[in-house]
Amino acid sequence: MRAIVIREPGPPEQSLLLETVPDPVPGPGQVVIRVEACGVCAHDVAKRSGILRRGIEMPLIPGHEVAGTIAGIGEDVRGYQIGQRVATTQRSHICLECRYCRAGREPLCDEAVFMGDRGLNGGYAEYVATDASTIAAIPDGVSFAQAAIAACAIGTVYHAAFPVGRIRPGETVLVTGASGGLGIHALQMGRLGGARVIAATSSPGAADMLRSQGADVVIATERGGDFSAAILAETSGAGADIVIDTVGTPVFNAVRKSLAKAGRWVMVGQVTGTFVQFNPAQLFLRDISMLSATSTTRSELQRCLSLIARDLIRPVVSDILPLEAACKAHALMEEGALAGRIVLAPHASGVAA
C-alpha cells in the first residue's frame, strides 16, 4: 500500500516520504480499515518536527483521525462486517482490563498505543489496523471527512467542555486558538452548553466565521498576545468562568489573568516545546482549578458522531487533499491560517466535507 512515512524529524518536504509498505494484517481482536479520510492534527506536526518526542518511535506512519470501511476482520471480532463504515478513536490498542479501562477512561490505558506514534501503522496510508474496541459505526448522513475528525478535533473538546469543564448555561467560556481544529469546535461546544462564548484568535480575518461557529465575541491579537484586558472588559471585570485552552505556553499568562474567581482552566493543546514559570498562589488564592483533557473515549466518539448526525455539531473541514499532498497540509498547519481541519484522502474517492 501507499503511505506517508517519517524516518526522522525535520521539515515537511524532507520528513514526509511517500513510500510503498506492506499492507496491515488484522490480528486477533483487530480490524483493518480502508482509509477514506484522515485528519491532519497538530500532534502530527509536533512529532514530525521533533517537538514531540515522548512515546515516538520512528520510522512511523502518522495519523490518528481515521474514517473508512472495514476491509479485514481478525479472530474474536464480533458485531462488525466487511464494508461497514467506521471511525476510530485516537488509539489503535487498549487493554480493556486496567483500572483506567474499567473506569471508562481508556485514553489513559496502561497499554494504550496512540495510533501513528510508532510502527508503520497510522492513518496517512491506504489501510490501517486497529483494535475493534477502538472503533465506532458511522451514522447515515455523516461523511467520511466529518467522521474522521469526530474523535480528535471534536471529541477532545467535548471531553474538555462537559465531563471535565462542566459547562453550565449562562457561564462565560473563553476559547484560545479559536480558529484551529480544536478551537473552532470548542466554540460549538460552548454554544451547545448554553454558555456565552468568547473566541481568542490571532487571525483577525476569521471573525465572521468564528461568530458563525458559536462565538458571541471575537478578540484578535498577535500570536502570543495578551488578550486579558479585553476579556475582563467583555465580562465587566469578572473574567471567564471556563477557558478551553488549545494553545498552551504562548498564552499562559494571558489565560491566567482572564479567569474569573473559581474559574476552570482546561488545557487541551500545547503548540510549542517551551515551559512556563508561575506562582501557584496566583491560582489557589482565587480558587482556580487547573484541569486537562486528553483524547476521547469510545463512548464519547459515539456521542459526537450522534451530535454530527443530528446537526447539533458541524465539523469544519477546510480542505480535502490527496495523500501525496501531506507536505502541503503540514505547511498550511504551521502557517496557522487555517479554519478547522485539513483531511487527507488516501483513495481520493467518496469523500465529502
Weakest-pLDDT range from 49-58, 137-146, 166-175: 49-58
Burial-class residue 169 by CB neighbours within 10 Å (0-12, 13-18, 19+): exposed
Contact present, 207 and 218 (Cβ < 8 Å): yes
**Alpha-carbon gap, residue 193 to 186, rounded angstroms:** 11
Cβ atoms within 10 Å of 234's Cβ, excluding its own = 20
Q: Give the pLDDT of residue 349.
A: 53
**Alpha-carbon gap, residue 283 to 292, rounded angstroms:** 15
| Nine-digit cell string for 7 | 524516518
Q: How far apart are the first and last CA of the chain?
A: 24
Please write the tens of the pLDDT for every residue from 178-225. Answer: 988 899 999 999 999 999 999 999 888 889 999 999 999 999 998 889
Q: Work out the widest C-alpha separation in the chain, in whole angstroms.
A: 60
pLDDT interval class at 274 (50, 70, 90):
confident
Nearest to 15 by CA among 66, 65, 58: 58
Please write the tens of the pLDDT for every residue from 9-55. Answer: 999 999 999 999 999 999 999 999 999 999 999 899 999 999 888 88
Contact present, 199 and 240 (Cβ < 8 Å): no
Per the document, the length of the chain is: 353
**Alpha-carbon gap, residue 319 to 344, rounded angstroms:** 9
Pairing of strands 217-220, 196-201: parallel
Identify the DSSP state of 98: S
Q: What are phi and psi of 234, to 5 degrees?
A: -75, -15
Nearest to 328 by CA among 343, 349, 348, 350: 343
Q: Which carries the bigger pLDDT value, residue 223 or residue 168?
A: 168
Q: Give the pLDDT of residue 351.
A: 59
pTM, full prediction: 0.92
Q: Which fold has domain 2-153+296-345?
A: Quinone Oxidoreductase; Chain A, domain 1 (3.90.180)
Our separate counts of H helices and E strands in the chain read 12, 19
Contact present, 43 and 2 (Cβ < 8 Å): no
Contact present, 112 and 295 (Cβ < 8 Å): no
Contact present, 251 and 245 (Cβ < 8 Å): yes
Contact present, 316 and 185 (Cβ < 8 Å): yes
Tell me whether the CATH fold assigned to 2-153+296-345 matches the one assigned to 166-292.
yes
Pairing of strands 341-345, 30-40: antiparallel
* Domain boundary assignment for the chain: 2-153+296-345, 166-292
Q: How far, in Å, are 64, 157, 220, 254, 317 from residue 161 at the CA level?
A: 21, 6, 22, 20, 21
Quote the CATH superfamily of domain 166-292.
Medium-chain alcohol dehydrogenases, catalytic domain (3.90.180.10)
Among residues of the chain, what percentage have pLDDT more than 70? 98
